[in-house]
């Protein structure tokens, strides 16, 4: 089966063709157009994002088909992100995918963006398949899941306030770094003194027990406030060395929390694989720390390449392919939603 994927949930206009069946799939093409305009505003401006998707969606899709060497008639189905995300942005992709499916007489499937992230790494690494513990860390979401099988997800924990990427971006802004700040902060932290600022590990205490509400949950807004306080307390002495040390303190704290909560999930669920996803999984320091900790637990870590860590339509096509193979189809009434639980959640 050949699936054309469309992704417009935030600030990337993306189209991709994925071909295959079951676990054997191949990426035929992937086009990602990132909307750099938002850097001027220091964050994504929803209406500008929608309009930019509107301008880009046709050429991006044409390019994905051309790169795959396929005509629309040779595509078997269309998959599109319909939740969660910026509604105006999602509506562009959904309306476009719906029209395309209708005019070409192809089946349509709406895909949950976070389920897409679960499939991203499997496109490049054949071992990144269930059962595994997933840590999805992006600008909008932070989810710790046990993936028992494709389509069977146990939500273990999530952030109670800021997402991991959001915490990176806000802290980076406080340190005077450009948006999106995550990669800049990682670079700055690499040169920072790890001992100068030691911030509390959020929601991480040794005496937490499985079953405690905060055993797996995460929280990053307090850490961002700690960065703000450190910046203020340093005052006029906020030179490059101090900024690097604060960045280091922030990143060490955030990473230790993510790694420990993931370790708890691996132990409790008896998993031997951890799959990372979302933009923050492009952070090498996080991936390395995760690898070291998981090796001690006998688990391997699968991180996507930076192209598939960030928002892209290949993961949407891949997740769509899974749902289509199960016989699922969306109706012509498919709509877009800002929030929606990931499908296939199983209760404790």
Query: Contact positions toward ligand KG4, by CB under 6 A?
Result: 10, 138-140, 165, 168-169, 180-183, 186, 278-280, 282-283, 310-311
The count of C-alpha atoms lying within 13 angstroms of the C-alpha of 158, restricted to the half-sphere facing its C-beta, is 12
**Distance from C-alpha of 231 to C-alpha of 233, rounded to nearest angstrom:** 6
**Binding partner selected for residue 7 from Zn ion, ligand KG4, none, CB under the kind-specific 5 to 8 Å limit:** none
- C-beta of 192 vs 279, nearer to Zn ion: 279
**For residues 130 and 115, is the Cβ–Cβ distance under 8 A?**
no
* Own/partner pairs, 142-148, CB within 8 angstroms, 24+ separation: 142/218, 142/220, 143/114, 143/342, 144/216, 144/218, 144/261, 144/262, 144/265, 145/118, 145/342, 146/265, 146/269, 146/271, 147/118, 147/275, 148/346
Q: Is 115 in the site for Zn ion (CB under 5 A)?
A: no
- The least distance separating ligand KG4 from the CB of residue 333, rounded to whole angstroms, comes to 26
- The least distance separating Zn ion from the CB of residue 138, rounded to whole angstroms, comes to 4
Provide the 10 A C-beta neighbour count for residue 220: 27
**Distance from C-alpha of 348 to C-alpha of 303, rounded to nearest angstrom:** 27
- The least distance separating Zn ion from the CB of residue 311, rounded to whole angstroms, comes to 4
Q: Annotate each residue in 288-327 with x if it binds Zn ion (CB under 5 A) or - if it does not, as one string.
A: -----------------------x----------------
Structure tokens at 44: 């994504």
- The least distance separating Zn ion from the CB of residue 4, rounded to whole angstroms, comes to 19
- The least distance separating ligand KG4 from the CB of residue 24, rounded to whole angstroms, comes to 26
**Distance from C-alpha of 223 to C-alpha of 221, rounded to nearest angstrom:** 5
**Distance from C-alpha of 189 to C-alpha of 283, rounded to nearest angstrom:** 11
- C-beta of 192 vs 277, nearer to Zn ion: 277
CA quadruple 86, 87, 88, 91: dihedral positive or negative? positive
Structure tokens at 63: 């390019």
**Binding partner selected for residue 139 from Zn ion, ligand KG4, none, CB under the kind-specific 5 to 8 Å limit:** ligand KG4
- C-beta of 107 vs 344, nearer to Zn ion: 344
- The least distance separating Zn ion from the CB of residue 136, rounded to whole angstroms, comes to 8
**Binding partner selected for residue 283 from Zn ion, ligand KG4, none, CB under the kind-specific 5 to 8 Å limit:** ligand KG4
- C-beta of 304 vs 320, nearer to ligand KG4: 304
Q: How far is CA 220 from CA 38, 45, 197, 312, 345, in A?
A: 23, 23, 16, 25, 25
Provide the 10 A C-beta neighbour count for residue 255: 22
**Nearest one of 159, 260, 162 to 208, comparing CA atoms:** 260
**Binding partner selected for residue 252 from ligand KG4, Zn ion, none, CB under the kind-specific 5 to 8 Å limit:** none
- C-beta of 32 vs 244, nearer to Zn ion: 32
- C-beta of 182 vs 249, nearer to ligand KG4: 182
Q: Annotate each residue in 121-150 with x if it binds Zn ion (CB under 5 A) or - if it does not, as one string.
A: -----------------x------------
- The least distance separating Zn ion from the CB of residue 312, rounded to whole angstroms, comes to 9
**Binding partner selected for residue 304 from Zn ion, ligand KG4, none, CB under the kind-specific 5 to 8 Å limit:** none
- The least distance separating ligand KG4 from the CB of residue 182, rounded to whole angstroms, comes to 2
Judged by CB under 5 A, how many residues of this single chain contact Zn ion? 2
Instruction: Quickly list DSSP for 117-136.
Output: HHHHGGGT-TT--SSEEEEE
Where along the sequence are the contacts to Zn ion (CB under 5 A)? 138, 311
């Amino acid at each position: 089966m050949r699936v054309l994927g469309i992704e417009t949930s935030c600030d990337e206009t993306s189209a991709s063709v994925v071909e295959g069946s079951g676990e054997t799939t191949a990426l035929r093409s992937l086009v990602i157009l990132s909307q750099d305009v938002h850097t001027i505003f220091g964050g994504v401006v929803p209406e500008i994002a929608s309009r930019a998707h509107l301008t880009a969606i046709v050429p991006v899709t044409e390019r994905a088909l051309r790169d795959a060497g396929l005509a629309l008639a040779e595509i078997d189905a269309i998959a599109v992100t319909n939740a969660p995300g910026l509604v105006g942005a999602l509506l562009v992709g959904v309306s476009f995918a719906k029209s395309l499916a209708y005019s070409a007489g192809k089946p349509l499937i709406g895909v949950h963006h976070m389920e897409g992230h679960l499939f991203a790494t499997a496109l490049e690494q054949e071992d990144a398949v269930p059962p595994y513990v997933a840590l999805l860390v992006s600008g909008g979401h932070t989810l710790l899941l046990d993936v028992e099988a494709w389509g069977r997800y146990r939500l273990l924990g999530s952030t109670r306030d800021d997402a991991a990427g959001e915490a990176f971006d806000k802290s980076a802004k406080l340190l005077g770094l450009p948006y999106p700040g995550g990669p800049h902060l990682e670079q700055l932290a690499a040169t920072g003194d790890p001992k100068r600022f030691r911030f509390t590990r959020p929601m991480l205490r040794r005496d937490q027990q499985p079953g405690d509400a905060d055993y797996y949950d995460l929280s990053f807004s307090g850490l961002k406030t700690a960065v703000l306080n450190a910046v203020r307390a340093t005052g006029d002495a906020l030179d490059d060395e101090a900024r690097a040390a604060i960045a280091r303190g922030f990143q060490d704290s955030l990473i230790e929390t993510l790694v420990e909560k993931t370790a708890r999930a691996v132990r409790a669920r008896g998993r031997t694989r951890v799959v990372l996803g979302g933009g923050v999984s492009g952070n090498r320091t996080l991936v390395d720390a995760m690898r070291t900790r998981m090796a001690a637990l006998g688990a391997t870590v699968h991180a996507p390449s930076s192209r598939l860590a960030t928002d892209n339509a290949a993961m949407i096509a891949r997740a769509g392919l899974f749902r289509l193979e199960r016989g699922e189809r969306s109706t012509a009434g498919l709509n877009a939603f800002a929030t929606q639980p990931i499908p296939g959640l199983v209760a404790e």
